[in-house]
Structure 1
């Protein structure tokens, strides 16, 4: 069995006097998709930004023996790529130019990135003319072109129709074969059914961590303040409020 590089996170982070993350600890390996869920304000996006190097937490973030907190931005970008929450693009880049922005750290393969997300035929279109789903794919392609081993995604399926949601999930399932994927999900059911590990945050703390198939209903109830039920059809679990 070959050794797979591991990410170890042990951090806290504060916005001024507000402690947004408190003793958040977990490990994840290359070859896995770790999903992060939790109510609004639980610290999900803050956690991703700390790993990405956008925010500077207290503690350590170690990948394959390297403490990422000690790296300069360009060196860190060779290891970690970050796909932010999708918002309307502000600049009139073509799709190809937009994806090329991801190559500054390592000089990745633009053509391969476009092919893997299915945007080759859109390469000369302005990103401002893409649909919401297509723009999300362009964001993923830009991160792919970065050539990193760890990819962070903040709500990659938010506001997407079912076709583009399916496409994004399929891409992530394929990418995890060669990377560590860490994704924040708003949709609990996507997180439970398509992740290898599940991290549940509440008020900046880890409320639960483990195999998504073992997630207790009482954890969901406590974290979200609901009385949930599980419905399982053909091996697919659905949480009902």
Structure 2
């Protein structure tokens, strides 16, 4: 029997020269600086845990059981969009191969052959026509490519990203062409969740939870937050 040598195929993410970390066989992609991302997880999960533990039992009994149910669904959607934004490819453009980089350098040197010695060469720009419009493509000295329109090089991840918006440390990833919609849904849903929790926290504070055995009435229950404030600030001073 002849031994069959099985060579493992090297995946593209394994030889990506950028500053990224990969997990789950390349399916999860993040920046190396993940400390702020863990802080984001802690703040969202911690705030919602306190809301479900202390506010939802009262709200479900005195207002509606649909309040904690909707909050749970909104929380799950926020977490799904956050993880999808953080773990997905933002649109990293592949770098030029050594042969491609050498060919581009030869083209640039041939175009600058008439530049006088000692004079600074012109910027590396290539003009292309897109929809009958002349578009200037800028050259990336790190990736050795002419970047498409709206692409930019992220100094933190050390990659060129298509339709680069910004590098968001709160999600631990760049925001670009392939994860922008998830980032947008994350920010919108997180804003809704924040307003939702804050609103029902205020409702709980105003409504009050007076369930003692003596059934004492809330002395500041004037059915209006402004009247309650006026009662506290402008009411008679209690004797010492």
Q: TM-score range by the shorter chain?
A: under 0.3
TM-score by length of 1: 0.20
The structure where helix makes up a greater share of residues is 2
Structure with the bigger RCO (C-alpha within 8 Å, sep 6+) is 1
